[in-house]
Structure 1
């Protein structure tokens, strides 16, 4: 039997696998299983990342200094535990006492009961009485499941409806039916954020050349960096309008580049393109699709497309469906973030958008078109298939 080739992973693959371990509630073992990695290898990558970040052991200290440092670390650990519990329980403090007791029951293996009770504002004696009470198993099970649902919903920044909550619970090994999740969310008043309609920003009244619609609504790609779509939307702040340009990969639905400016012009579009190219370094032949707006039809932008070996494609006049994936992302962004905030400054809006895209949408948010995983996890799985094929 021929010897199996050693699998080789890029530094970017390792870094993004480590990032997945630091978000959500999945264990390192679960992430390793989902990505078809060994847990030993993944733990080694995490240890190396922590060492590179400066978490290696410090030089020897005196006994007094070690004692002081130990006490400081104990206090910090306690504060971190309380912070983590509050983060997990955010939203449960308004729930009934049974749900809070159920949260304590679920998390007692991870945190001391005394700390859990303090953070949730319940007594330890009350919890022990609740735990020993002969409550009907279905009622107790519903209370515990409601905790998991509320935690998942809060971690999604209140954006998940029942389909994504259900998939998240299943990914964490919790076997539950869709109807039960729907019922408990309804009973506890847990709903996804609502979306509002928004208007277009495209100005196609110009004399620049127009590229043909090469994409032709084929919104799928087998691997990353084969087809990108781009568009611009607007965000209101108390300083005035802020314009946001994004570039999205059709394979993984990942935002590969974005930029923001108070002006909707070719400089904004070019900034987003430069960032996407720097982040992804695509090979020649990538299909680049946009609307007919003047920033994308300008000489500067067309020259940048050509210089990077990309094939230009544009939507038909007044047809938003030709760029539906980019439109869908903006609807998601507005429905899950922008419609629920009033930004004092453009800078604060940029910070919020950057946090949403880089820390949530690309890394954590479960996307229905890619089997309810995040864009980064989807790309890691594609890369793993490629590595396995080469090593076979």
Structure 2
């Protein structure tokens, strides 16, 4: 059976240690007198000596002065904790510096000290007074930037975020980082619309037609080294419009496309033919796609053989093996295509080509190109 640990009151420890310090007892004699161990008595004597010397102990104090000091320190610690909780609670509402300064200004009207409020909320007084002085005043240069931000966001149909806007402003000669672009977006009340993340089932089945030669090596050194292709569909009034696209991985430029109301191999061959002829009939190109029947068909493989293009195919069901093409279609459908889809086939085809030719290739900044458009990236190469 474990012996219970003996505890002693502060007053008992004080009286026991006084036997040594005030009454002339040795530590051993004091131990025998009060019935405690030598180690405990020595520790009490040392602590009482420190307290008489004005040192606050880490253990419970024995002298009235040090007891009062420990009580005050505990109260200060509690007050600091409560203040920290209140500040964190305020910041949990995503309050930035401007909102905090507005709060300080409101509290100061109730005869609270501005100096103390600034210290409490960790806001420099210079920032507080600067904000009040220029609140509601917009510099002409910033007003121009706001209009440019609105124009870029509008051209992208609401999809452009801070990085894209920053990249396009820099292309236009403005020195604007992503955080400044984010502040400008907040000032004019616009946000980027982006879809939620989607989980995909991963498969490892390799095609029997062609191996995965690309193997996710999407960073290529020159134009016409690797092309990627894929096909998607869009609702166009009373039927589907099918879109086949070919992308040059060097600058992520769309170099071939075709639209049809039938998802057959003629569609993918037409997109490949446009890419081959518009790029000057290049040699030693690799064409990568998924394992869709439009790309495994004999007709399409014969077209690749005719153009002397090497075929590469993703593993079955593994969309990440053709990620650049999947990302292009996601951008088109979430950034550009109207949520209610199109009313007619002609409208869908016209708007799709507008996205490719007048927006994606020429104006939309791509993160892979350091937010240059594909056309500008290729021209700079």
Give the TM-score normalised by structure 1: 0.58
Shift of 1:197: 7.5
Matched, 1:193 2:193: yes
Is the Cα–Cα contact under 8 Å of residues 232 and 246 in structure 1 kept in the other structure?
Answer: yes
Is the Cα–Cα contact under 8 Å of residues 166 and 176 in structure 1 kept in the other structure?
Answer: yes
2:333 maps to 334
Q: Map of 1:217-366 to 2, 5 A cutoff?
A: 217-366=216-365
Q: 2 CA distance for matches of 1:191 and 1:343?
A: 24
Against the structure 1 CA distance between its residues 197 and 334, is the aligned structure 2 distance closer, same or farther, given a 3 Å change threshold? farther
Q: 2 CA distance for matches of 1:245 and 1:198?
A: 23
Q: 2 CA distance for matches of 1:143 and 1:360?
A: 25
SS at 2:245 equivalent: strand
1:179 maps to 179
Q: Which moved more, 1:330-339 or 1:151-160?
A: 151-160
Against the structure 1 CA distance between its residues 137 and 191, is the aligned structure 2 distance closer, same or farther, given a 3 Å change threshold? closer
Is the Cα–Cα contact under 8 Å of residues 195 and 339 in structure 1 kept in the other structure?
Answer: no
SS at 1:340 equivalent: coil
2:367 maps to 368
Against the structure 1 CA distance between its residues 183 and 297, is the aligned structure 2 distance closer, same or farther, given a 3 Å change threshold? same
Gaps of at least 5 residues in structure 2 are: 1-132
Q: 2 CA distance for matches of 1:246 and 1:199?
A: 24
CA-to-aligned-CA distance 1:242-282 (integer Å, 9 cap, x gap): 11110000001000001111221111111111111121134
Q: 2 CA distance for matches of 1:165 and 1:316?
A: 35
SS at 1:348 equivalent: helix
Against the structure 1 CA distance between its residues 178 and 322, is the aligned structure 2 distance closer, same or farther, given a 3 Å change threshold? closer
Q: 1 CA distance for matches of 2:235 and 2:247?
A: 22
Shift of 1:140: 2.5
Is the Cα–Cα contact under 8 Å of residues 287 and 310 in structure 2 kept in the other structure?
Answer: yes
SS at 1:174 equivalent: coil
Q: Which moved more, 1:323-332 or 1:156-165?
A: 156-165
SS at 1:219 equivalent: coil
Q: Map of 1:1-392 to 2, 5 A cutoff?
A: 139-141=138-140, 142-195=142-195, 210-382=209-381
Shift of 1:373: 0.7
Against the structure 1 CA distance between its residues 196 and 257, is the aligned structure 2 distance closer, same or farther, given a 3 Å change threshold? farther
CA-to-aligned-CA distance 1:71-129 (integer Å, 9 cap, x gap): xxxxxxxxxxxxxxxxxxxxxxxxxxxxxxxxxxxxxxxxxxxxxxxxxxxxxxxxxxx
Shift of 1:180: 2.7
Give the TM-score normalised by structure 2: 0.59
The count of residues paired between Structure 1 and Structure 2 equals 243
Is the Cα–Cα contact under 8 Å of residues 159 and 192 in structure 1 kept in the other structure?
Answer: yes
Against the structure 1 CA distance between its residues 363 and 176, is the aligned structure 2 distance closer, same or farther, given a 3 Å change threshold? closer
Q: 2 CA distance for matches of 1:290 and 1:175?
A: 39
Against the structure 1 CA distance between its residues 328 and 164, is the aligned structure 2 distance closer, same or farther, given a 3 Å change threshold? same
Q: 2 CA distance for matches of 1:326 and 1:170?
A: 26
SS at 2:349 equivalent: helix
Is the Cα–Cα contact under 8 Å of residues 289 and 315 in structure 1 kept in the other structure?
Answer: yes
Rg (Cα) greater in structure: 2
Is the Cα–Cα contact under 8 Å of residues 243 and 264 in structure 1 kept in the other structure?
Answer: yes
Is the Cα–Cα contact under 8 Å of residues 248 and 257 in structure 1 kept in the other structure?
Answer: yes
Q: 1 CA distance for matches of 2:198 and 2:227?
A: 23
Q: 1 CA distance for matches of 2:156 and 2:336?
A: 11
Against the structure 1 CA distance between its residues 185 and 218, is the aligned structure 2 distance closer, same or farther, given a 3 Å change threshold? same
Is the Cα–Cα contact under 8 Å of residues 256 and 272 in structure 2 kept in the other structure?
Answer: yes
SS at 2:212 equivalent: coil
Shift of 1:301: 0.3
Q: 2 CA distance for matches of 1:199 and 1:294?
A: 24
RMSD over aligned Cα atoms: 2.5
Q: 2 CA distance for matches of 1:255 and 1:198?
A: 24
Q: 2 CA distance for matches of 1:370 and 1:153?
A: 19
Shift of 1:189: 1.9
CA-to-aligned-CA distance 1:327-348 (integer Å, 9 cap, x gap): 0100111111124342111121
